[in-house]
Amino acid sequence: MTGDQTEPTRTELEKLGEFGLIEKLTGDIKLVNKSSVLGVGDDAAVINPDQGLVLVTSDMLLEGIHFDLTYSPLKHLGYKAVAVNVSDIAAMNGVCQQITVNIGLSNRFSLEAVEELYQGIYQACATYNCDLVGGDTTSSKAGLSISVTALGTVHPDRLVQRSGAKEHDLICVSGDLGAAYMGLQVLEREKQVFMANQEMQPQLDAYQYIVGRQLKAEARTDIVQWLSESDIKPTAMIDVSDGLASDLLHISKQSNCGLRIYEEKIPVDPATKDAALEFKLSPTTVSLHGGEDYELLFTIDQKDHQLIESQPGISIIGHVTDKTQGCSLFTASEELLEIEAQGWKHF
């Protein structure tokens, strides 16, 4: 490298103060939804919801628990913090329209770092066509915390809960499963290598897909849009955040039904399979218990079978049974195994 290397600019947050920081981060916001009447700048936002039901969800991410800044770029983290909440709105068959963001910051974060975080937040808002309408900033003695609340709407006739699955319905899932978990395993491994020898650079080229699935989650709003355009209303739906097995059991409990899925039908990307085998893990186990895929898991009436089957990116993985049959996995070796939750546990 030629020429002088200059140190990156670092502006201490204490120079701006809370209100100066808020103004710096939100001064250029443009509202895009007609339901957003008043956003940042007053004591509260003003929302005039479209005709329909209002959906509200909230999620908190804590440094050291939900993310590791050793390998999580702040821009990706900001994007993911929004996407996981938009995913919850999508899981109710709704559309996100507004978000609020609360952040807690220790003094190790500069203005430039916080601006990078908000670049990701604003990119997610643009992707999902939602408005940032409020939030709060506060000092923290324990690193970074991010809390996002998302507000959305859904027509009463289109609302989907976890409790509507009925016997003989088909079980469907979007995308593929297990990639985010395997991406995390790769990142953790490379972190350990780096901590042991900081001259060793992370070797991630061969793992771009699975690492991307971990660092930059996407909410499947495209699936909600397609279901609407196809006039298909799922009977039950949930987003796959805690792992396929755990979320299947949520539907089973709420719908008071049994479920049977088939191992050979579970969608797993080749990159996920390769990484799982490299780590001496079963691809099926990874797909069942990995979590953080944020795909949509839903049940549909059999009358919609042909429409679903013809749609790329949606897999039919099983069917709903009577509750007396429990929740089971029919394996490739033709064994019937009980499904148990082994995914993410918050406590």
Residue 320, CA atoms < 13 Å, CB-side half-sphere: 30
| DSSP designation for 12 | B
The pLDDT tens digits of the residues spanning 190-200 come to 999 888 887 77
* Statement to judge: residues 29 and 127 lie in one domain: yes
Domain boundary among 123, 158, 193: 158
The larger pLDDT score, comparing residue 347 to residue 10, is at 10
pLDDT of residue 347: 35
* Domain that includes residue 192, residue range: 170-338
Decide if pLDDT at 6 tops 70: no
Residue 129 shares a structural domain with residue 180 = no
Same domain membership, residue 333 and residue 210: yes
Q: What is the pLDDT of residue 46?
A: 82
> At which of 158, 192, 227 does a domain end?
158
What was the pLDDT predicted at 18?
56
Domain CATH for 285: 3.90.650.10
Q: How many domains does the chain have?
A: 2
- Are 17 and 149 contained in the same domain? yes
Phi and psi at residue 51, in whole multiples of 5°? -60, 130
pLDDT at 315: 98
What one-character-per-residue DSSP string does 170-213 give? Answer: EEEEES-SSHHHHHHHHHHHHHHHHHH-TTSPP--GGGHHHHHH
- Give the span between the Cα atoms of 260 and 251, in whole angstroms: 12
| pLDDT single digits (tens) 259-311 | 999 999 999 999 999 999 999 999 999 999 999 999 999 999 999 999 999 99
Question: How many residues does this entry show for the chain?
Answer: 347
Whether 51 is covered by a domain: the verdict is yes
Asked if the structure places residue 4 within a domain, the reply is no
CA angle 227, 228, 230 (to 5 degrees): 65
Residue whose token pair is 């289109």:
158
Residue 128 lies in a domain: yes
Inside any domain, residue 235 = yes
What was the pLDDT predicted at 282? 96
Q: Looking at the structure, do residues 200 and 317 belong to the same domain, yes or no? A: yes
DSSP reduced 3-state for 228: helix
Same domain, 181 and 312: yes
Q: Which of 294, 280, 284 lies closest to 264, judged by CA? A: 284
Residue 346 covered by a domain: no
Based on the fold, state whether residues 324 and 188 are members of the same structural domain: yes
HSE-up of residue 100 (Cα within 13 Å, Cβ side): 18
Q: List pLDDT tens digits, range 69-99.
A: 999 999 999 999 999 999 999 999 999 999 9
Burial class of 179 by CB neighbour count within 10 A (0 to 12, 13 to 18, 19+): buried
Shared domain for 92 and 210, answered yes or no, is: no
Q: CA-based Rg of the chain, rounded to a whole angstrom?
A: 22
Residue 226 inside a domain? The answer is: yes
Same domain, 112 and 252: no
CA distances from 19 to 25, 31, 58, 99, 138 (A): 10, 20, 24, 19, 11
Read off φ and ψ for residue 315, nearest 5 degrees. Answer: -115, 135
Q: Are residues 208 and 90 in the same domain?
A: no
- Give the domain CATH number at 71: 3.30.1330.10
* Mean pLDDT, range 186-208, rounded to an integer: 85
| Same-domain check for residues 191 and 311 | yes
Residue 80 backbone phi and psi in degrees, to 5 = -65, -40
Q: Tens digit of pLDDT for each residue in 8-20?
A: 777 665 655 555 5
Is there a contact between 243 and 344 (Cβ–Cβ < 8 Å)?
yes
Neighbours of 174 (CB within 10 A): 24
pLDDT higher than 70, residue 23: no
The DSSP bridge partners found for residue 236 are 299
Identify the band that residue 49 occupies on the pLDDT scale cut at 50, 70 and 90. Answer: confident
| Co-location of 144 and 184 in the same domain | no
345 domain residue, yes or no: no
Strand 131-139 with 95-105, pairing: parallel
pLDDT exceeds 70 at position 5: no
Domain edge (last residue) among 158, 179, 211? 158
| pLDDT of 31 over the 90 cut | no
Pick the closest to residue 288 from 266, 303, 310, 313 (CA basis): 266
Q: Across residues 110-124, what is the average pLDDT?
A: 93
